[in-house]
């Protein structure tokens, strides 16, 4: 596959006709998504629609049943192991739980990708790590162990680790879930700041409508395995589609029904 | 009809697991060359897998040796053959008890620890995180542990046998009055380096290979929940124990038969 040079009009990630099944359930049933360069793209949808699965498909950890995913012009699932690992070095991923290595401290966690993939001397590694920790506000916490960090701090440490190799793209898996308002505020500030400062492309997977809609440039709404809306964020926020409105406004009932499918109530209670 | 389908499903999923286990084994072995370049990883695991097992192996070896001394004396003295106590204790330990009991203890202590560690790393997405950092978690995390198990097991089995012989000496010669010279000289005459000791070492190497493989596979393949990890550790100990005893029979028949 030829690699296109950094053409700023070409989307960084191109997903076409993606189908992915878990058993009999279709998690994705023909999905087309374009992730533009240099912008923050949000992928939103109700829980269980496979948003995390999408990130794993983009990163090559899962194989789709049909369809293609191209990152920077390369078909992710046709790469051999060596090229796939090289591609992953240009992707940073922030897991929901941070996924820090629990047996080493914050500094060593952030230094890990540098020590594994580069032959830089320790003095330079130290400077790089401290700079990244400073960017997320954790330079003073460098000697703490992951078990001593609060949830929000663990996520920030994991973010520092994700950007330490200066990737082209960062994927955030539910970054706002379960955060207190202050940590949320910190992340809401950090994500666009990092995106702009390092000219990254960010993909944020979330179901926190308010925060995500605030920072996103492009929004895709996924439900039932299909993209029900996709476009610039103002367009989606003001959309008329009942699906999108139910999701964005947080309505309990609508196209996604409140009641799990069941028999009529009278039949259940009064017996048959 | 439903029962037949269930049986079929169980059969197919067992074969699938067996297949996944072998794929993992090949993947782990392919990381050997990379490991040689980074001995610190191996050394750290040798400590955690081997050195930390030494206490239980030494104490168990001592008591097993002492029991062998006692029981051996009671039976051999009926035939006036107390002087062969040394041979009996050494042969039992070096040929059978050393490799087998060490492997069982190893599976219970180090095996379950390995399974729990890998299982928890899977449950907390650390393995996934490593993959996304372009680090192969199998080569980086599993291969050092596998090599450490391979190297530690024969050494621990040898330690077990040695301490057991000392335990037998303490009881036999120290407490029950067997002649010291006879204890050692009979042992020296009758225990053969190639037939007894080397075979014992080969056994413990095979057990080390199988136990560590099972422990790492169960950890890597478990359902990433707390229940899944607990079931995986149980399976490690049970499967390892069965495999050890089964292989022991096969190896004994091959090595010590005519």
Q: Write the DSSP assignment of B97-148 as a string of letters.
A: IHHHHHHHHHIIIIIHHHHHHHHHHHHTTHHHHHHHTT--HIIIIIHHHHHH
Evaluate whether residue B10 is within a structural domain.
no
Q: Mapping DSSP to helix (H, G, I), strand (E, B) and coil, where does residue A257 land?
A: coil
Cβ within 8 Å, pair A61-B132: yes
Provide the 8-state DSSP code for A76.
G
From A42, A62, A31, A11, select the one nearest A172 (Cα to Cα).
A42
Evaluate whether residue B220 is within a structural domain.
yes
Cβ within 8 Å, pair A89-B129: no
Handedness of CA B224, B227, B230, B233 (dihedral sign): negative
**Cα→Cα distances A20→A66, A224, B134, Å:** 7, 12, 23
**Count of CB pairs separated by less than 8 Å, A with B:** 48
Look at residue A178 in the predicted model and tell me its pLDDT.
78
CA–CA dist A19, A63 (Å, integer):
10
Evaluate whether residue B208 is within a structural domain.
yes
Evaluate whether residue B23 is within a structural domain.
no
pTM over 0.90: no
**Cα→Cα distances B215→A178, B50, B143, Å:** 34, 15, 12
Domains annotated on chain A, with CATH: 9-90+208-239 (3.40.50.300)
Evaluate whether residue B17 is within a structural domain.
no
Rounded to a whole number of angstroms, the distance from the CA of A101 to the nearest CA of chain B is: 6
* C-beta neighbour count of A74 within 10 angstroms: 18
CA–CA dist A32, A12 (Å, integer):
14
Cβ within 8 Å, pair B134-A93: no
Evaluate whether residue B226 is within a structural domain.
yes
**Confidence tier at A239 by pLDDT (50, 70, 90):** confident
- Most B-contacting residue of A71, A93, A165 (CB-CB within 10 A), to test interface: A93
Look at residue A260 in the predicted model and tell me its pLDDT.
74
Evaluate whether residue B171 is within a structural domain.
yes
- Mean pLDDT (chain A) is 84
Average of per-residue pLDDT across B19-32: 94
Lowest mean pLDDT, pick from A139-143, B17-21, B254-258: B254-258
Q: Which residues contact A125 (CB under 8 A, 6 or more apart)?
A: A111, A114, A115, A118
A28 close to A64: Cβ distance less than 8 angstroms:
yes
CA–CA dist B89, B215 (Å, integer):
31
Average of per-residue pLDDT across B90-113: 94
Cβ within 8 Å, pair B126-A91: no
Cβ within 8 Å, pair A113-B124: no
Q: Where are the alpha helices (DSSP H) in A137-208?
A: 151-163, 181-197
Report the run of H or E that residue A67 belongs to, with start and end.
strand A66-71
Look at residue A21 in the predicted model and tell me its pLDDT.
87
ipTM of the complex model: 0.77
A45 close to A207: Cβ distance less than 8 angstroms:
yes
Give the strand order in the sheet containing A25-35.
A25-35, A13-22, A66-71, A74-75
In chain B, the number of structural domains is: 1
Nearest CA in chain A to B125: A99
Nearest to A97 among B124, B134, B135 (CB): B124
Cβ within 8 Å, pair B134-A89: yes
Look at residue A272 in the predicted model and tell me its pLDDT.
58
Evaluate whether residue B92 is within a structural domain.
yes
B162 is in which domain, residue-wise?
Answer: 55-137+156-252
Contacts of A154 in chain B (CB under 8 A): none
A244 close to A229: Cβ distance less than 8 angstroms:
yes
Look at residue A181 in the predicted model and tell me its pLDDT.
84
Look at residue A2 in the predicted model and tell me its pLDDT.
39
Average of per-residue pLDDT across A241-256: 74
Cβ within 8 Å, pair B124-A85: no
């Amino acid at each position: 596959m030829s690699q296109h040079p950094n053409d700023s009009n070409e989307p960084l990630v191109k997903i076409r006709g993606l189908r992915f099944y878990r058993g009999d359930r279709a998690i994705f049933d023909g999905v087309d998504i374009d992730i533009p360069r240099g912008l923050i793209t949000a992928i939103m949808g109700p829980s269980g629609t496979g948003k995390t699965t999408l990130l794993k498909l983009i990163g090559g950890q899962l194989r789709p049943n049909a369809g293609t995913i191209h990152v920077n012009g390369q078909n992710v699932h046709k790469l051999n192991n060596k090229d796939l690992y090289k591609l992953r070095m240009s992707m940073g991923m922030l897991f929901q739980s941070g996924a820090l290595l629990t047996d080493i401290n914050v500094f060593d966690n952030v230094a890990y990708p540098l020590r594994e993939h580069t032959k830089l001397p320790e003095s330079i590694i130290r400077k790089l790590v401290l700079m990244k920790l400073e960017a997320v506000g954790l330079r003073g916490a460098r000697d703490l162990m992951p078990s001593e960090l609060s949830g929000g701090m663990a996520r920030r440490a994991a973010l520092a680790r994700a950007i330490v190799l200066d990737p082209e793209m960062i994927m955030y898996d539910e970054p706002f879930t379960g955060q207190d308002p202050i940590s949320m505020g910190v992340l809401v500030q950090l994500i666009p700041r990092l995106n702009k400062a390092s000219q990254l492309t960010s993909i944020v997977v979330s179901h926190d409508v308010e925060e995500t809609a605030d920072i996103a440039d492009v929004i895709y709404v996924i439900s039932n395995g299909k993209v029900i809306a996709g476009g610039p964020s103002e367009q989606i926020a003001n959309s008329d589609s009942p699906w999108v409105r139910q999701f964005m406004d947080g309505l309990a009932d609508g196209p996604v029904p409140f009641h799990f499918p069941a028999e009529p109530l009278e039949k259940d209670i009064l017996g048959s | 009809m439903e029962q037949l389908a269930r049986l079929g499903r169980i059969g197919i999923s067992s074969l699938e697991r067996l297949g996944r286990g072998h794929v993992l084994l090949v993947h782990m072995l392919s990381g050997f060359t990379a490991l040689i370049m980074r001995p610190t990883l191996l050394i750290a695991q040798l400590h955690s897998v081997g050195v930390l097992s030494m206490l239980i192996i030494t104490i168990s070896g001592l008591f097993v040796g002492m029991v062998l001394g006692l029981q051996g004396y009671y039976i051999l003295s009926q035939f006036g053959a107390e002087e062969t106590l040394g041979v009996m204790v050494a042969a039992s330990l070096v040929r059978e008890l050393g490799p087998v009991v060490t492997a069982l203890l190893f599976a219970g202590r180090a095996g379950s620890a390995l399974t729990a560690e890998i299982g928890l790393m899977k449950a907390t997405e650390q393995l996934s995180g490593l993959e996304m950092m372009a680090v192969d978690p199998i080569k980086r995390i599993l291969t050092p542990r596998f090599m450490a198990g391979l190297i530690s097991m024969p050494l621990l089995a040898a330690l077990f046998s040695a301490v057991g012989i000392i335990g037998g000496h303490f009881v036999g010669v120290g407490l029950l009055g067997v002649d010291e010279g006879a204890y050692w000289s009979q042992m020296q005459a009758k225990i053969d380096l190639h037939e007894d000791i080397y075979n014992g070492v080969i056994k413990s190497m095979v057990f080390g290979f199988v136990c560590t493989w099972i422990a790492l596979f169960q950890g890597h393949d478990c359902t990433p929940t707390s229940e899944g990890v607990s079931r995986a550790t149980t399976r490690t100990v049970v499967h390892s124990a069965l495999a050890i005893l089964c292989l022991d029979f096969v190896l004994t028949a091959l090595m010590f038969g005519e």
